[in-house]
Structure formats: structure tokens, C-alpha cells
């Protein structure tokens, strides 16, 4: 499929959308939205998705908020801790952004926390689901970090019980990252309480090309179901080889294996993802009007990272900037942070409000693949859970 390609710089990409100034801040003063995301490496498609989402959000806001032009400043975190710290320092200390979106993967978001706190710059996570992030935010010590998406501990209770309804023997498969390990660490104690037998547990590096040895072992273990924690690129390779090896088990996903982007990666054989059941916080069909708008703009389908980047930029960061200007007279790091804390807005992904740990609770979503198409079939109310110490 033809796709609009962005020029991705390894260090920083600057997108300036101009507008006219109406308020008390200097007429030429732009508001800088920083984005740190993986632009290179095995999950560069996630960073590309974040750029798509933030770009179309800025376009839909008219390129300005209350007359102040918006700048999108992008830094590559490569989805690894070392580069995440470098990217965040670049945005805070060199580019002097006013607010940050990211980091596109849990490993980057976990690593960036201390720098965000020390740099006193508001940052909003859209997709990072590692549960350990929760305890450090808000009353946990870092008042500058917010998270819109639920983490895997928040989602685990509802999904684990669903999996247990038709499963006694379970295989666990995840990417070897803070996302994958964080998810399975959240689920395993619940599965144990529910009496499920975990027959295999495997972790794979990003970009793994051959899953067949592990899949052969999984097949021999005869699980009733697999829980797979991967994003579209690796997940499409894994599912393709799972069908080749002949693993006969129900597939549950906590990643993005039912998204239209997954279907794009497997369009040569639409049966590859047939029957996958996925729990997430975004689903194709939840906001059909925006799905169509996104496809028309970029000639590639919406996806969890693309959609969540849009919603967080437009409805959460955008409204916090607007309210900072209207209520405080200027959009600074401090006033934007204060307005983020006060957020209460209905969005296509649910009501967004932050608790005392700066954590929001949008809908959980359930979706599957039927006849080669994503089918969204339910939303699930998510509530706070005990994250321990």
C-alpha cells in the first residue's frame, strides 16, 4: 500500500505550523510540543505512528491554540533507555519544549522519569503500559509525569478472567522489553490465583526473525491458549510462523495484533490473525470518523500508537495548553502541568481524568479478527487497582 513517508532525522525533527497570536504572550511566541519516540531501530514504525498522530492533531487544531503557533519537536529514543535519556535531555535542555508526548514504548518511558522530574517539564504517556511507572508518578514523587493509557496491571484483572474461562493450560509469549515483561509480571500472579497452569514462558528480542524453535516446543506442550504480548511488526511474523508450525490453540493478545496495521502486514494471507482476541485501550471502530480521516490523510490505517498519539495531543495536551492560556494568561511548563492535573474531558476513548498518581482510566477495549477484518465488540470500564509499593 502506498504510504506518505516522513523524513525522519536521527536526532531532531522540527515541524512548525504557523498561526496568529491573540493573547498576552509575545506575539511570535510558539508553544513547543516535544515528542520522544523510536524513529530508528526495530520498532521505528511506532515512532512514525506517533508522528502521524501528533501531526494530524496539530492540523486539526488549525496549527495554533488561542493564536499561538504550535511547533512539534521530535527526538529519537530508539526504544532503549540510554537513547531515551539523551532524547529527553535534548527536548528539555536544548529545544526548551513546553510539554512532552511519549515515549512510544515502556522502556523509554521508564528510563526518562528522573530526567523529566529534574527538568520540571510536563510529560504525557499515551501508550506505555509497564505497571512500575504508576508508583513514581504524582504523589509517588514525580508530579510532572502523566499517563493517559491504562497499564497492564489495571487491565490484567478483566482480561485474565476472560482467558481463564476457556483455558487450563496456558503458554506465555512476550517481547523482551519493559512492555512485554511488565505485562506478564502483572498477569502471572492472577493466572496462578485462577488455577491456570503455565506450560511455557518465552521472551523474544525486538526484530526476531525466527520463532519456530520456540513454537515447536509450545506445540509439544499442548496449551489450550497463548497470551501474546507484542506489537504489529514482530507479532505478524510470530503469527505467520505459528500457523506454519501448526500450533492449535486459542490466541489472546495484549498488544496490537488485531489492528488494521497488523492486517496490512499480513494482507497476503488474511487468515493469519483469524480469531485472535485482544484487550487494549484502543480499537478500530471505536471512532470510525477519525479512522476514515486518518486513512484519507496518510493512506495507511489507524492503529493504537497512531490513534492514542492523536487523542493525547489534541484532547489532553491541547486542552491543557488552551486552559493555561485562558486561565493563567500564558502557557508555561508550570501552568500546563497544573492544567493537566485538572483535566476532565470526554473523548472518543472515554472520560480522561487523572488520579493522585497522575493516571487516567479510559475505556478498555475488546476486539477480534473475523474474516480478515478487525471487529470491535465491547468496551470495559477500568478502575484503579492496588499497585503495591
Q: Do both 319 and 191 map to the same domain?
A: no
Q: Do both 294 and 342 map to the same domain?
A: yes
Q: What is the 3-state secondary structure (H, E, C) of the chain?
A: CCCCCCCCCCCEEEEEECCCCCCCCCCCCCEEEEEEECCCCCCHHHHHHHHHHHHHHHHHCCCEECCEEEEEEEEECCCCHHHHHHHHHHHHHHCCCCEEEECCCHHHHHHHHHHHHHHCCCEEECCCCCCHHHHHEHHHCECCEEECCCCHHHHHHHHHHHHHCCCCEEEEEEECCHHHHHHHHHHHHHHHHCCCEEEEEEEECCCCCCCHHHHHHHHHHCCCEEEEECCHHHHHHHHHHHHHHCCCCEEEECCCCCCHHHHHHCCCCHHHHCCCEEEECCCCCCCHHHHHHHHHHHCCCCCHHHHHHHHHHHHHHHHHHHHHHHHHCCCCHHHHHHHHHCCEEEECCEEEECCCCCECCCCEEEEEEECCEEEEEEEECCCCCCCCC
Q: Do both 212 and 126 map to the same domain?
A: no
Q: Do both 146 and 293 map to the same domain?
A: yes
Number of separate domains in the chain: 2
Q: Do both 50 and 130 map to the same domain?
A: yes
Q: Which range marks the domain in which residue 71 is found?
A: 12-150+287-358
Q: Per the domain annotation, does 389 fall within a domain? A: no
Q: Do both 82 and 220 map to the same domain?
A: no
pLDDT at res. 159: 97
Q: Per the domain annotation, does 325 fall within a domain? A: yes
Q: Per the domain annotation, does 195 fall within a domain? A: yes
Q: Per the domain annotation, does 388 fall within a domain? A: no
Q: Do both 369 and 235 map to the same domain?
A: yes
pLDDT in tens, the chain (389 residues): 444 444 333 333 344 333 333 333 446 499 999 999 999 999 999 999 999 999 999 999 999 999 999 999 999 999 999 999 999 999 999 999 999 999 999 999 999 999 999 999 999 999 999 999 999 999 999 999 999 999 999 999 999 999 999 999 999 999 999 999 999 999 999 999 999 999 999 999 999 999 999 999 999 999 999 999 999 999 999 999 999 999 999 999 999 999 999 999 999 999 999 999 999 999 999 999 999 999 999 999 999 999 999 999 999 999 999 999 999 999 999 999 999 999 999 999 999 999 999 999 999 999 999 999 999 999 999 999 999 87
Q: Do both 157 and 145 map to the same domain?
A: no
Q: Per the domain annotation, does 236 fall within a domain? A: yes
Q: Do both 206 and 323 map to the same domain?
A: no
Q: Do both 265 and 376 map to the same domain?
A: yes
pLDDT at res. 15: 40
Q: Do both 62 and 199 map to the same domain?
A: no
Q: Per the domain annotation, does 1 fall within a domain? A: no
pLDDT at res. 17: 38
pLDDT at res. 27: 60
Q: Per the domain annotation, does 324 fall within a domain? A: yes
Q: Do both 375 and 240 map to the same domain?
A: yes
Q: What is the CATH number of the domain that holds 291?
A: 3.40.50.2300
Amino acid at each position: 500500500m502506498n504510504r506518505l513517508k516522513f523524513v525522519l532525522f536521527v536526532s531532531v525533527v522540527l515541524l512548525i505550523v504557523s498561526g496568529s497570536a491573540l493573547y498576552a504572550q509575545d506575539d511570535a511566541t510558539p508553544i513547543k510540543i516535544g515528542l520522544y519516540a523510536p524513529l530508528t531501530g526495530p520498532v521505528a514504525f511506532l515512532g512514525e505512528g506517533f508522528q502521524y498522530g501528533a501531526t494530524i492533531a496539530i492540523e486539526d487544531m488549525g496549527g495554533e491554540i488561542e493564536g499561538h503557533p504550535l511547533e512539534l519537536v521530535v527526538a529519537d529514543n530508539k526504544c532503549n533507555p540510554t537513547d531515551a535519556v539523551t532524547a529527553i535531555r535534548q527536548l528539555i535542555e536544548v529545544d526548551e519544549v513546553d510539554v512532552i508526548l511519549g515515549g512510544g514504548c515502556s522502556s523509554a518511558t521508564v528510563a526518562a522519569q528522573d530526567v523529566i522530574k529534574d527538568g520540571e517539564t510536563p510529560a504525557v504517556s499515551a501508550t506505555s503500559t509497564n505497571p512500575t511507572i504508576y508508583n513514581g508518578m504524582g504523589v509517588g514523587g514525580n508530579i510532572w509525569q502523566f499517563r493517559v493509557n491504562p497499564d497492564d496491571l489495571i487491565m490484567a484483572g478483566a482480561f485474565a478472567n476472560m482467558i481463564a474461562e476457556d483455558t487450563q493450560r496456558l503458554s506465555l509469549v512476550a517481547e523482551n522489553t519493559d512492555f512485554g515483561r511488565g505485562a506478564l509480571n502483572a498477569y502471572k500472579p492472577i493466572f496462578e490465583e485462577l488455577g491456570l497452569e503455565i506450560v511455557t514462558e518465552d521472551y523474544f528480542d525486538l526484530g526476531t526473525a525466527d520463532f519456530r524453535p520456540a513454537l515447536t516446543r509450545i506445540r509439544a506442550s499442548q496449551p489450550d491458549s497463548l497470551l501474546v504480548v507484542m506489537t504489529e511488526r514482530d507479532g505478524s511474523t510470530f503469527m505467520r510462523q505459528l500457523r506454519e508450525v501448526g500450533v492449535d490453540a486459542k490466541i489472546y493478545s495484549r498488544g496490537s495484533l488485531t489492528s488494521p496495521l497488523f492486517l496490512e502486514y499480513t494482507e497476503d494471507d488474511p487468515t493469519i490473525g483469524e480469531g485472535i482476541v485482544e484487550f487494549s485501550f484502543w480499537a478500530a471502530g471505536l471512532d470510525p470518523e477519525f479512522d476514515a480521516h486518518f486513512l484519507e490523510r496518510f493512506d495507511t490505517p489507524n492503529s493504537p500508537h497512531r490513534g492514542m498519539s492523536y487523542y493525547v495531543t489534541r484532547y489532553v495536551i491541547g486542552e491543557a495548553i488552551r486552559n493555561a492560556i485562558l486561565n493563567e494568561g500564558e502557557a508555561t511548563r508550570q501552568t500546563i502541568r497544573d492544567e493537566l492535573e485538572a483535566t476532565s474531558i470526554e473523548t472518543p476513548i472515554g472520560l480522561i481524568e487523572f488520579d493522585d498518581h497522575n493516571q487516567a482510566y479510559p475505556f478498555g477495549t475488546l476486539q477480534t479478527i473475523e474474516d480478515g477484518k478487525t471487529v470491535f465488540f465491547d468496551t470495559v470500564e477500568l478502575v484503579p487497582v492496588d499497585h503495591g509499593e
